[in-house]
Structure 1
Amino acid sequence: MDDPIVARGLNHWFGSGEARKQALFDIDLTVARGSLTVLMGPSGSGKTTLLTLLGCLRDVQEGSVRLLGNELHGATNATLIALRRRLGFIFQAHNLHESLTARQNVIMGLEVHGKIPAALAEQAASHVLKLVGLGDRLDYLPANLSGGQKQRVAIARALVGNPDVIFADEPTAALDKETGANVVALIKRLGRERGTTTLMVTHDNRILDQADRIVTIEDGRIVSDRNKGAGTDAG
């Protein structure tokens, strides 16, 4: 099967005219199916910009990005919508609906897949919430959850639809060491069992030992690409 993420010659700018500033420079990156790849680098280095381009949340300006076999540069809106239905997104801001319970928030992650019987949706949501350690908080509103618990609900929402690719931006920032490790272990298990591919931006050094690969970005350029399985820098 083809690699799910392939970027070639990717450049990106913000602003226009004299204020135009280049954020990414000639990015070449291939992410293997089922792997957990971590993007690291200082604030402002371009990590989140790259993540959102690869996840079809920004338009590709120059270069090529192939996501799940589809070219994103110049892609139609219909293609982008169809691709997003195959993705899971986890952001540092949990973005939960305050009027919905934990289980109802997770069920929303299934709605992009079309009409699903209510009983099956509840079962799937309950199952994934238990996997992230919230089996006793299914019917709690966000106001009655801690910051770490809210983040786990957001993670469950991203995982419930069995996405082909997960894009995660600082998913463990609000979690304690044990919970963060457990969440990353769950994501790794999905990679092994289902072939789920994960690209994760993080500053959390505590989870690096679970990564298959660590890509470091500085000033919009890839400066290090370490495949931990091979024990050497990848080309």
Structure 2
Amino acid sequence: MYRKPGTPDPIVVSHLNHWYGSGETRIQVIFDATLSIAPGSLTILKGPSGSGKTTLLTLIGCLRDVMDGSLRLLGTELNGASEPAQVALRRRIGFIFQAHNLHASLTAQQNVRMGLEVHGTHGNRDRYDDAAAHALRMVGLDHRLHYLPGNLSGGQKQRVAVARALVGNPEIVMADEPTAALDQESGRVVVEILKALGRERGTTTLMVTHDDRIMGLADRVLTMEDGRIVSDTAPR
């Protein structure tokens, strides 16, 4: 696992609580979550449906407002953070979801290029295509640059989505069930790419998954039940 001396943890959560609804219908879904995630690590968050995994992931990813407790992301406190501050942090994160959400009318390269355009990445726009092609080569799809999603397999589509998340060199990757629709080989390829980025670039990955086939690749596995983190282990 990659870590420069003195590098602070990019994700630090302390006594985090979260609720849905209001008044009599208010339901607590996260209870006193406390954790710290090291740079360059691949951490898996698992647990049954409804345990709070995705809620915690979206809180850490600045997709929900922090209600109670402390959540520091890349050195910025999210409790009370302004919308511009949260937007700036989102631009430093790559998001991968189970649904690849590719645009059917765009080629693989064009879909990945959107990862730079949507996030307002600075740099020479003439190099965006080169960057997209490089990201696709990284996930083994250099021979599919100009293919439309309709002409790609399910595993190839998900790898395009991974390339789109990684093209801007994010400091953190948030992945929600990225291997659920993939066969064992394709799923392992996706996770090994993320793990390699941790070693080589210090990219930190937090992944929600039920996929037992990839648990052994993680540096750390957190288990949630009923909104609480109930175990924290490092696979052998």
Q: TM-score, normalised by structure 2?
A: 0.93
Question: 2-side partners of 1:218 and 1:105: how far apart?
Answer: 36
C-alpha distance in 1, partners of 2:126/2:32?
Answer: 48
Question: Which structure 1 residue ranges, 4+ long, deviate > 6 Å from structure 2?
Answer: none
Q: CA deviation at 1:118?
A: 4.0
Instruction: Give the structure 2 partner of residue 126 of structure 1.
Output: 133
Alignment partner of 1:167 is 2:174: yes
Superposed CA deviations along residues 161-214 of structure 1, whole A, max 9, x for unmatched, are: 110000000111122211211221111111111110000001111111110000
Q: Which of the residues 76, 86, 95 maps onto 1:80?
A: 86
Once the two structures are superposed, residues 132-175 of structure 1 have per-residue CA deviations (whole angstroms, 9 ceiling, x without a partner) of 22222111112222222221111110011110000000111122
> Which of 13, 17, 25 matches 1:11?
17
Please name the residue that 1:40 is paired with. 46
Once the two structures are TM-superposed, the CA of residue 100 in structure 1 deviates from its matched residue by 1.1
State the 1:227 CA deviation.
2.8
SS at match of 1:136: helix
> Given the alignment of the two structures, is residue 188 of structure 1 paired with residue 195 of structure 2, yes or no?
yes
Give the match for residue 216 of structure 1. 223
Provide the C-alpha distance between the structure 1 equivalents of 2:198 and 2:49, rounded to a whole number of angstroms: 28
Q: Secondary structure at the match of 2:71?
A: strand
Give the gaps of 5 or more residues in structure 1: none
What count of residue pairs does the alignment treat as equivalent? Answer: 229
SS in 1 for 2:143: coil
1:206 to 182, 190, 213: 213
Counterpart-to-counterpart distance in 2, 1:55 and 1:115: 21
Aligned twin of 1:107: 113
96-105 or 194-203, which deviates more: 96-105
Q: Distance in 1 between matches of 2:210 and 2:141?
A: 25
Q: Encode CA deviations 1:68-90: one digit per residue, 9 max, x unaligned.
A: 00000110111111111110000
Offset at residue 91 of structure 1 (A): 0.6
Q: Quick check: 55-64 or 120-129, which moved more?
A: 120-129
CA shift for structure 1 position 126: 1.1
The CA distance in 1 between the partners of 2:33 and 2:148, in whole Å, is 42
Distance verdict in 2 for CA 1:115–1:33, change over 3 Å: closer
2:95 aligned with 1:97, yes or no? no
The sequence identity of aligned pairs, in percent, is 66
Q: Distance in 1 between the 2:110 and 2:172 partners?
A: 23
The one-letter code of the counterpart of 2:52 is: G
Distance in 2, matches of 1:114 and 1:4, equals: 21
Provide Cα deviations, 1:32-80, integer angstroms capped at 9, x if missing partner.
0110000000011000000000010000011110000000011011111
Amino acid at match of 2:132: A
Q: Distance in 2 between matches of 1:140 and 1:68?
A: 36
User: Structure 1 stretch 23-32 or stretch 126-135: which is displaced more?
Assistant: 126-135
DSSP-derived class of the 1:200 partner: strand
